[in-house]
Amino acid sequence: MARIVVDAMGSDNYPTPEVEGAILAAREYGVEIILVGDEALIKPALDSQNIDGLNIRVVNAPEVLTMEDKGENLVLKARAKDARNSMAVGIDLVKNGEADAFVSAGNTGAGMVTALFRLGRIRGVDRPALAPIFPTATGSCVVLDIGANPDCKPENLYQFGILGSIYAEKVRGVKNPKVGLISNGEEEGKGNELVKAATPLFKSSKLNYFGNVEGKEVIGGKVDVAVTDGFTGNVMLKSSEAVAKLITDKMREIIKNGGLLTKIGGLLVKPALGEIKKLLDPREQGAAPMLGVNGLVFIGHGRSDATAIKNAVRVAKHAVDVNVLDAMKSAIEESLKN
């Protein structure tokens, strides 16, 4: 049975989404859930729910890392041996072998720093990366990095490609995933200096390297893994989410304010619109894996609700089941021999 830690103090509305999502996940996926956070807040929320027969327990961690924790203050809280914040306590459970994966909807930067100090990196990885799943015309694409590393070196992008390829194969079930470098043109030689310098590393590797890809090729499903620096990836992620929301909001507005025929048409296409909304809904993936740290860590949106938390646990469980961490370690070790 997979043992998943849920940071009960992570979301904007903690601990309600975490508690409700944990209950849904424990019931649906048969996992052991360890809720980490302020026991005085978690216990009443649990007691108000029916958890008979569910494998859920609470580990007390009364302190919370917030968006205000930055710089030296964050580092001190992330690395202190006697840290009592929910991220540190939860990640330590993974480090000590008491849990298999950690899920949080908390501060991404705090999650990255805490995981780095307490779990360390996979040998051969210089910088971990956040790797969400983008919906595409043909299925999905792992995009990394989307914010953890605004500035990167060519070697970082190459490592991202290895990590993303293993994740796509093991967790997403893609055989021999195609890997592309996000650029401003498809032709080799296009892109900034970072992309140009990284290209030879990808071409000489054992990755199934596709070449440069523009944003439209990523969304069009040309590759299974798209690699970029965290600055570009974050802009791409936020822009994609905003465009998706704009389209769905405008469609609802047009149908609502239209005439009789428009409203009838809206009713006819409602099932299809529901499927599109589900495809674009970030709650469906729940959280993005932090690839490259020496443990399974997943970070979701601060606005996560119970559905998002439940799905984050599902993704974490699957990563545990397919032993993706060991597969990434082996792939990185192999790359060091080249």
Which domains, ranges and CATH numbers included, belong to the chain? 3-128+285-330 (3.40.718.10), 133-235 (no CATH), 246-278 (no CATH)
Maximum CA extent, the chain: 67
Q: In what order do the strands lie in the sheet with 139-144?
A: 133-136, 139-144, 225-227, 178-182, 208-213
- Rounded CA-CA distance 124/53 in Å is 43
CA atoms in the 13 A half-sphere facing the CB of 277:
11
Q: Report residue 191 as tokens.
A: 């892109």
- Predicted local distance difference test score (pLDDT) of residue 239: 86
Q: Torsion over CA of 297, 298, 299 and 305, rounded to 10 degrees? A: -140
Q: In terms of Cα–Cα distance, which of 178, 183, 233, 177 is closest to 212?
A: 183
Q: Are 7 and 102 in contact (CB under 8 A)?
A: yes
Q: Are 218 and 134 in contact (CB under 8 A)?
A: yes
105: helix, coil or strand?
A: coil
Place of tokens 């929320």: 45
pLDDT in tens, the chain (338 residues): 899 999 999 898 999 999 999 999 999 999 999 999 999 999 998 888 888 889 999 999 988 777 666 666 677 666 778 889 999 999 999 999 999 999 999 888 888 889 998 999 999 999 999 998 888 888 889 999 888 888 899 999 999 999 999 999 998 889 999 999 999 888 888 888 999 999 999 999 999 999 999 988 998 999 999 999 999 988 988 888 788 778 778 877 877 787 777 767 667 666 756 665 665 566 677 789 999 999 999 999 888 899 999 999 999 999 999 999 999 998 888 877 76
- Predicted local distance difference test score (pLDDT) of residue 247: 79
Q: Are 292 and 121 in contact (CB under 8 A)?
A: yes
Q: Are 309 and 20 in contact (CB under 8 A)?
A: yes
Residues 6+ apart with CB under 8 A from 236: 143, 146, 182, 215, 218, 228
- Predicted local distance difference test score (pLDDT) of residue 281: 62
Q: In terms of Cα–Cα distance, which of 121, 108, 11, 119 is closest to 69?
A: 108
Query: Residue 256 phi/psi, 5° resolution?
Result: -65, -40
Residue 95 burial (CB count, 10 A): 17
- Predicted local distance difference test score (pLDDT) of residue 59: 95
- Rounded CA-CA distance 167/137 in Å is 20
- Predicted local distance difference test score (pLDDT) of residue 240: 81
299, β-bridge pairs: 104, 288
Residues 6+ apart with CB under 8 A from 55: 1, 26, 31, 32, 33
- Rounded CA-CA distance 41/64 in Å is 12
- Predicted local distance difference test score (pLDDT) of residue 270: 66
Query: Cis bond leading into 281, ω under 30°?
Result: no
Query: Residue 209 phi/psi, 5° resolution?
Result: -80, 125
